[in-house]
């Protein structure tokens, strides 16, 4: 079978694939224009909530990836922590999930430091290590959200111990795919489970309202058709249900990271809301105003040649509320009132989240001296990564063809449901189908998340996991030895 005897592509081809990932677009860099507005004391009071009326502000910040090539997700989370901290949230109310393998990674050119902007300072200093390494997993994330201390394993046991008047902010930055978000320790997080947890939290009466900011590919699919509009949860996502989200400050971009960095420093949507929050008085900026601003910046001049559609879901009545109720406001910005057109500079280009790791391995390979042993290793890494990608793509295509015929296969697998409908009707079918695939064909790994829609569509077509298992066994006679295919980490569902 073709995939069992996969041969790595020639390096020239590989180069083309990497470069095509760097979709370029011309910049119209705009200069930031922050206009401090002068107000009379009587006017000022109107725009400000009373600190006491707000209840307690809680924040849960989570980076769902690990590995130096995913630098940007943990950098985003650290930056978010600094915003919460400057905004006045207390450490006891901020819960951070990060694998914590970046700052002291041997590949990090600035040991002990993480940056989230090419000229930015350290955002790692002071970040609490509430849940690190293997403690960053779905079970702990849900237990923390639900405030259930006994369900937490490892970590320092900090949970969202919130009451009925409290405001909760959640920020998740990671890879994703249709209906799914990554986790450094398997399994991944599925949209239906997340929304169930939010419903449970609402039923427990332990928040007034909750704002969820989500950066991931196809992140709209986590909430689309799932998140009710009457449980006080407002979500914005980096992309709609069917497109990639984007890494930014990547090597070769403008502005690019300092030359010693081979990796992207941030993600486009994340950077957009955080750089906005860094400079504004959040007592006067509403969720809606920030959404509009972030949408504009993430859309890349409405061209969408790179960039994505930032979306809103859930209780949109919360749009009118000020960010201050959730993430506080840095007192240093008290005179920097929101002005509609003070958008931060746009980006010249960005790298598709799914290709950002390739960019890293390519950069690393490119810089090494010809015929050094390190260059050979880097080449091997790059080829393994590409090899895994084609194995996954080919196996799923073949399974589609075996199930639906060579004409029907691609049509069924690629079908996108109308907006407002969930990805899949039977989420347990989706999860079983994923496990079935992985036990026959090897791990989907980070890249393979993109194929979740195909598995969902197989379920939507009424194919039961047992039937998919038979076909997967035909498509994949064995699990390739490629390290990305290894299933020792467990299944992603």
Contacting positions for ligand NAG (CB under 6 A) = 148, 150-151, 332, 334-335
Identity of the residue, 91 or 334, whose beta carbon is nearer to ligand NAG in the bound complex: 334
Between CA 244 and CA 251, with CA 248 as vertex, the angle to 5 degrees is 120
Residue 204 backbone phi and psi in degrees, to 5: -75, -10
Identity of the residue, 231 or 351, whose beta carbon is nearer to ligand NAG in the bound complex: 231
Give the pairing type, strands 351-352 and 57-63. unpaired
Identity of the residue, 11 or 151, whose beta carbon is nearer to ligand NAG in the bound complex: 151
Identity of the residue, 4 or 332, whose beta carbon is nearer to ligand NAG in the bound complex: 332
Identity of the residue, 204 or 411, whose beta carbon is nearer to ligand NAG in the bound complex: 204
- Asked if residues 63 and 173 have their Cβ atoms less than 8 Å apart, the reply is yes
User: Minimal distance in Å, beta carbon 289 to ligand NAG?
Assistant: 20
User: Minimal distance in Å, beta carbon 342 to ligand NAG?
Assistant: 17
User: Minimal distance in Å, beta carbon 148 to ligand NAG?
Assistant: 4
Given its phi and psi angles, is residue 348 left (phi above 0), alpha (psi -120 to 50 degrees) or beta? alpha
- Asked if residues 264 and 248 have their Cβ atoms less than 8 Å apart, the reply is yes
Nearest-angstrom CA–CA distance, 160 and 153: 15
User: Minimal distance in Å, beta carbon 333 to ligand NAG?
Assistant: 7
User: Minimal distance in Å, beta carbon 131 to ligand NAG?
Assistant: 16
Tokens of 147: 């405030």
Nearest-angstrom CA–CA distance, 326 and 329: 9
Residue nearest to ligand NAG as judged by C-beta position: 151
Choosing from 73, 175, 322, 391, the catalytic residue is 175
Identity of the residue, 193 or 321, whose beta carbon is nearer to ligand NAG in the bound complex: 193
Choosing from 18, 217, 264, 441, the catalytic residue is 217
User: Minimal distance in Å, beta carbon 149 to ligand NAG?
Assistant: 8
**Is 175 annotated in the active site?**
yes
User: Minimal distance in Å, beta carbon 138 to ligand NAG?
Assistant: 13
Nearest-angstrom CA–CA distance, 19 and 350: 12
Identity of the residue, 140 or 270, whose beta carbon is nearer to ligand NAG in the bound complex: 140
What is the 8-class DSSP label of residue 254?
A: S
Tokens of 81: 């922590």
- Strands in 180-181's sheet, in edge-to-edge order, are 176-177, 180-181, 189-190
**Is 18 annotated in the active site?**
no
Residue with tokens 């930032």: 310
Active site residues: 175, 217
């Amino acid at each position: 079978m073709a995939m069992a005897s996969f041969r790595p592509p020639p390096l020239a081809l590989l180069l083309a694939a990497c470069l095509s990932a760097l979709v370029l677009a011309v910049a119209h860099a705009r200069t930031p224009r922050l206009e401090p507005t002068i107000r009379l004391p009587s006017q000022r009071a109107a725009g400000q909530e009373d600190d006491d009326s707000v209840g307690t502000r809680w924040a849960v910040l989570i980076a769902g990836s690990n590995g130096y090539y995913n630098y940007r997700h943990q950098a985003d989370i650290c930056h978010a922590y600094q915003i919460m901290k400057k905004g006045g949230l207390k450490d006891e109310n901020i819960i951070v999930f990060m694998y914590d393998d970046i700052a002291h990674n041997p590949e990090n050119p600035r040991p002990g430091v993480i940056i989230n902007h090419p000229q930015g300072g350290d955002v790692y200093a002071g970040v609490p290590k509430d849940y690190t390494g293997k403690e960053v997993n779905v079970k702990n994330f849900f237990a923390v959200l639900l405030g259930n201390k006994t369900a937490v394993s490892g970590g320092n046991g900090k949970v969202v111990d919130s009451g009925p008047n409290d405001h909760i902010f959640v920020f998740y930055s990671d890879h994703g795919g249709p209906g799914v978000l990554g986790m450094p320790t398997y399994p991944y997080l599925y949209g239906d489970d997340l929304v169930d947890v939010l419903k449970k939290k609402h039923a427990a009466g332990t928040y007034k309202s909750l704002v969820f900011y989500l950066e991931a590919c196809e992140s709209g699919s986590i909430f689309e058709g799932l998140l009710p509009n009457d449980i006080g949860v407002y979500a914005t996502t980096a992309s709609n249900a069917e497109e990639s989200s984007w890494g930014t400050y990547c090597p070769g971009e403008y502005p690019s990271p300092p030359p010693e960095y081979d990796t992207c420093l941030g993600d486009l949507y994340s950077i957009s809301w955080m750089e906005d929050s860094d400079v504004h008085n959040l007592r006067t900026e509403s969720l809606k105003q920030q959404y509009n601003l972030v949408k504009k910046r993430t859309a890349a001049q409405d061209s969408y040649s790179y960039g994505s559609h930032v979306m809103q879901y859930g209780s949109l009545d919360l749009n009118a509320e000020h960010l201050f109720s959730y993430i506080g406001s840095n007192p240093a910005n008290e005179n920097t009132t929101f002005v509609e057109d003070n958008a931060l500079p746009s980006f010249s280009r960005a790298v598709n989240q799914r290709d950002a790791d390739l960019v890293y391995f390519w950069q690393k390979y490119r810089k090494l001296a010809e015929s050094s042993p390190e260059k050979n290793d880097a080449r091997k890494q790059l080829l393994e990564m590409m090899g895994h990608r084609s194995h996954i793509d080919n196996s799923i295509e073949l399974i589609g063809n075996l199930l639906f015929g060579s004409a029907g296969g691609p049509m069924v697998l690629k079908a996108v449901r109308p907006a407002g409908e969930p990805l899949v009707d039977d989420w347990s079918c989706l999860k079983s189908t994923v496990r079935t695939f992985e036990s026959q064909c090897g791990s989907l790994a980070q890249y393979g998340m993109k194929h979740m829609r195909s598995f969902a569509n197989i379920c939507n077509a009424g194919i039961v996991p047992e039937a998919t298992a038979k076909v997967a066994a035909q498509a994949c006679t064995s699990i390739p030895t490629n390290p990305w295919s290894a299933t020792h980490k467990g299944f992603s569902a």
